[in-house]
Structure 1
C-alpha cells in the first residue's frame, strides 16, 4: 500500500472514529444541556484545569514518544504502561487530598465529593494509553472507533437518564466516569495486547528524553487553556462560566475534532518520512491546506448562524453565550494551521523547538489573558483571537528552521481558502437579518453558504474540491459495478 493510500485510509478511519464518537457525544450533550442549568455545567467546568493538568502528567508525552520512536520494543510499551499507572495513582491521591482546598477556592462545597469521583477517571484512563498508542502506530483507527463509539453511546444514555432523574451536575460526573471506564475496557478487549512483567530504566530514559519536553510544552498549553475557566469561575459566577464553557465546547467541536483527525492519522506516516524532507514538506502543505479548506467555512458559517443555532438547539436560556461563541469560532478556526505546524516539529524529533515555541507563546498568552480580565468575559474571548495569530507566527518561526517554509509561504498557500471562507461567512450572515424564525434562518443560510462555497470552488478550480469530487465519483463507480 502506497503512502498516499495509507494516509487516505488513516484519515478516513480517524474521521469515522472522531466524528462518530464526538458527534454522538455532542448530540447527547445537547439533550442534557436542555435539561440542566448553566450553573451545573459551570460547576463541572471549575474542575477542568485540575483534571487536564493531572492527565498531562500521567501521559508525560510518552504516547507521542512511542509513536515517534522507530525501533520501539515490547519492553518500551510495558515500561510506559506501568509508569502511567503509577503516576495516575499518585496524582489521584494528591487530587483527593486537595479537594477541600479546591472547593474552598471556588466557594462550592459540592466540589469536594465531585472532585474525588471525577478524579477516578485519571486512573481508569492510564490503563488504556499504551493500547491506544499501539493501535495508532498500526494505523488501526477502526477498532478505536468501535471501542469509543460503543462507550459513548452507553454512557451517554445513562447521562441523559440521570439528567431527567434530577441528578444535576452529578449526571455529568457519572457519564464521564462510565464513558472512560467502558472505552478502556473495550480497547483492552479489541487490542489483544497485554503488558509484560518488565520495566526498563534505560527504555524510560530514552523515551523520557523526548517525552519530557513534550510534557512541559503540553503542561504550559493545558494550564493556559484551562486557566480561563479558573479565572472566570473565581472572578465572575458559575452561571457566566457555564455560558463560556458551552460556547467553548461548541466552538472547539468542529475545529479541534477535524484537526485531530488529520493530525492523528498522518502523524505515524509522517514519522516514517522524517528523513525525506522534500516529500514531508509536500505532505505538510497539502494536508494543512486541505484541513483549512474544510474547517474555515464551517467555523465562519457557524459564527454567522450562532444565534439561530443556540435558540433552536439549546433554547433561549443559553442566548448570553452567543456573542462568546461567535468570537471563539474566529479564534479556533486557526487550529489546523497551529497544530499541523506543531506536529511537524515532533515528526522531526525536535521536541526542544516545540518547548521553546511553547514558552514564548505562553508568555504572550498570559499577558493577553491578564490584560483582558478586567474588561469582562467577552473581551477575554477576543484576546484568544489575538493569541491565535501570535501562536501561528511563533510556531512557524521554528518549523521554517526545519522545512524552509516560512509565514509568507504558508500565508500565500492559504490565501485563496481564507478569502473564499470569509466571503461565504458574510453571505450567510445576511440570512440572519431577514427577520424570520431561527429554523428558517438555518434553512436559508446553510444551503446558500454551501452552494456558494462549492460553486466558487468549482469555478476557480480549487484542488481540494476537485480531489473530493474525484473521490466521490470513484466510490460511486465502485458501487455500480
Structure 2
C-alpha cells in the first residue's frame, strides 16, 4: 500500500473517530441542556422558538445554494471557488435576513403569538453571523480536518447551555433560548476563524460562480425537500393544535428519532465507503447490507422496545412531570424511529453505488404523504397523527426495500431475517421488564432509581441471550472492527 493511501486511510479513520466523539458529545450536551430548560420553561416556549427556527431554517437552505458539496468535490481553483462561495454566501445571508425581517410580522399574525415577530427577527441574525465562516466549515470537511470541525461543533453547544440555562433560571423565559442560540452561533463563528488557515477574500469569479451554482442547485433542491418533509408537520401542528401541543410533539418526535440519528451519524460515514468497495459484486453487496442490518438491529431494536415500556419514567427523568402528555406521543412515534434507522442504511447503500436520484423522490413522496396525513388524521387528534407518521415510515421503508430488490437483487426477506433474533431477544427483555413491575412497586423506589433498576434488568436479560446464542457473531464483529483498524 502506498504512503499516500495509508495517509488517506489514517485520516478517514481519525475523522470517523473525531466525528463519533463530536456527534455523541453534541447529543449528550443537547439532552442535558434540554433537560434543564424543560424544567425551567413552559412547554409553549419551545413551540414558539420551533416556529421561528422553522422560518430561519427554510431560508438558510437558500443561503449557500448547496455550495458544501460543490466545494468538497472540486479539484481545481479551490481557493478561488471558496472565495466566490464565501462572497455569495455573505450576500445571500444579508438578503435573507431582510426577507426574514419582513416575514416575521405575518408569521406572528398567522400563529397568533406576537412574541414570534421579535424572536424571529433576532434569530435571523444567526444567518448573518454564521455566513462569515460557513465556507470555512466546508473546507474543514474537504481537508478531512474533522478534529477541528468537532471542536467547532461541540464547544458552541456547551456555550449554549451556559447561556440559556442561567437566563431561564432568572426568569427570561423564551428569550433564554434565543440568547443561547445567538451565543452558540457567535462562538462557532469565532472558533472557525481562529482554527482555520484560510484567508478568504471577498471576490466573485463569474465563471466559477456559475459552476458552483449549477452543481449546488441540485443539492439545494434536495435540502429544501428534506427540510420541508421534516417541518411541514411542525408548521401545521403549531397552527391548528397550538404552540404547547407543538412542543409536546417535537419533544416526542426528537426523542424517538435520537437513537437512529446518533447511530447513523457515527457509522454512516463508515458503511458508505464499505458498500462502495463491493458495489460491482452484488453477492458481496447483499452480504454487507445484511450484516449492517443485523448488527444495527441488535443495537437499536432492544433500545426502542425498552423505551416503549419505560417511556413514562424516561420522559419524566429527562424533562420533568409537566411533559407527561408527550409520553403517549413518544410511544406512538417509536416505530417511526426504528423504521427511520432501517431507511438510513438503505440510503447509504443507494448513495455508495452512485444512484442518489432515488433520495429526492422518496423525500418528495414523504412530503406529499405527510401533508395528506396532517389534513386527515390531525382532525382526529395529535396521537392519530403520530400513529400515521409511524405507519407511513414503515410503508416508505417497504417501498425502498422493493427498490433494492429491483435494482440490486437484494431480497426483501433479508430485512426480516436480520431482525428475527434481535426481535426474539427483545421480547424476552420486555417480558422481564413487565415481570419486574410488581416487584419494584412493592419496594417503593423513586422514579430515577426504579428506571435504573429496570434498565439493568432488561439489559442483563438481553445480553445474557446474546452471549449464550450469538457468541460467534460477537466474535465476528470484533474481528471486523480489527480489520477496519488495519
Q: TM-score, normalised by structure 1?
A: 0.86
The yes-or-no answer on 1:452 pairing with 2:461 is yes
- Partner of 1:57, secondary structure, is coil
Q: Give the one of 171, 187, 192 matched to 1:187.
A: 192
Aligned counterparts, 1:121-140, within 5 A: 121-140=126-145
Could you say which residue in structure 2 is the equivalent of 1:443? 452
The yes-or-no answer on 1:317 pairing with 2:322 is yes
Q: Structure 1 pair 378/295, CA: closer, same or farther in 2 (3 Å)?
A: same
Q: CA deviation at 1:338?
A: 1.7
**How far apart, CA to CA, are the structure 2 residues paired with 1:140 and 1:391?**
36
**How far apart, CA to CA, are the structure 2 residues paired with 1:39 and 1:357?**
32
**How far apart, CA to CA, are the structure 2 residues paired with 1:70 and 1:426?**
57
Q: Contact conserved, 1:210 with 1:351, CA < 8 A, in 2?
A: no
**How far apart, CA to CA, are the structure 1 residues paired with 2:451 and 2:82?**
49
Aligned counterparts, 1:11-22, within 5 A: 11-22=16-27
Task: Kindly report the root-mean-square deviation, in angstroms, between the aligned alpha carbons of the 2 structures.
Answer: 3.2
The yes-or-no answer on 1:368 pairing with 2:377 is no
Q: Structure 1 pair 219/398, CA: closer, same or farther in 2 (3 Å)?
A: farther
The yes-or-no answer on 1:303 pairing with 2:308 is yes
Could you say which residue in structure 1 is the equivalent of 2:62? 57
**How far apart, CA to CA, are the structure 2 residues paired with 1:263 and 1:255?**
11
Could you say which residue in structure 2 is the equivalent of 1:260? 265
Q: Residues 1-30 of structure 1: CA distance to partner in whole angstroms, max 9, x if unpaired?
A: 499876654433211101112211210221
**How far apart, CA to CA, are the structure 2 residues paired with 1:355 and 1:118?**
29
Q: CA deviation at 1:95?
A: 1.0
**How far apart, CA to CA, are the structure 2 residues paired with 1:249 and 1:53?**
18
Could you say which residue in structure 2 is the equivalent of 1:107? 112
Could you say which residue in structure 1 is the equivalent of 2:121? 116
**How far apart, CA to CA, are the structure 2 residues paired with 1:463 and 1:84?**
52
The yes-or-no answer on 1:229 pairing with 2:238 is no
Q: CA deviation at 1:292?
A: 3.9
Q: Contact conserved, 2:315 with 2:323, CA < 8 A, in 1?
A: yes
Q: Contact conserved, 1:224 with 1:365, CA < 8 A, in 2?
A: yes
Could you say which residue in structure 2 is the equivalent of 1:98? 103
Q: Structure 1 pair 203/255, CA: closer, same or farther in 2 (3 Å)?
A: same
**How far apart, CA to CA, are the structure 2 residues paired with 1:72 and 1:423?**
59
Q: Give the one of 130, 155, 161 matched to 1:156.
A: 161
Q: Contact conserved, 2:232 with 2:371, CA < 8 A, in 1?
A: no
Q: Structure 1 pair 100/40, CA: closer, same or farther in 2 (3 Å)?
A: same
Q: Structure 1 pair 373/125, CA: closer, same or farther in 2 (3 Å)?
A: same
Q: Residues 161-195 of structure 1: CA distance to partner in whole angstroms, max 9, x if unpaired?
A: 10011100000011012112212321332232233
**How far apart, CA to CA, are the structure 1 residues paired with 2:422 and 2:140?**
33
**How far apart, CA to CA, are the structure 2 residues paired with 1:185 and 1:273?**
39
**How far apart, CA to CA, are the structure 1 residues paired with 2:160 and 2:54?**
23
Q: Contact conserved, 2:71 with 2:78, CA < 8 A, in 1?
A: no
Q: CA deviation at 1:201?
A: 4.5
Q: Contact conserved, 2:229 with 2:364, CA < 8 A, in 1?
A: no
- Partner of 1:167, secondary structure, is coil
Q: CA deviation at 1:343?
A: 3.6
Could you say which residue in structure 2 is the equivalent of 1:405? 410
Deviates more, 1:128-137 or 1:216-225: 128-137
Deviates more, 1:31-40 or 1:308-317: 308-317
**How far apart, CA to CA, are the structure 2 residues paired with 1:351 and 1:69?**
19
Q: CA deviation at 1:276?
A: 5.6
Q: Contact conserved, 1:15 with 1:258, CA < 8 A, in 2?
A: no
The yes-or-no answer on 1:359 pairing with 2:364 is yes
Q: Structure 1 pair 127/166, CA: closer, same or farther in 2 (3 Å)?
A: same
Q: CA deviation at 1:242?
A: 2.0
Could you say which residue in structure 1 is the equivalent of 2:3? none
Could you say which residue in structure 2 is the equivalent of 1:29? 34
Could you say which residue in structure 2 is the equivalent of 1:479? none
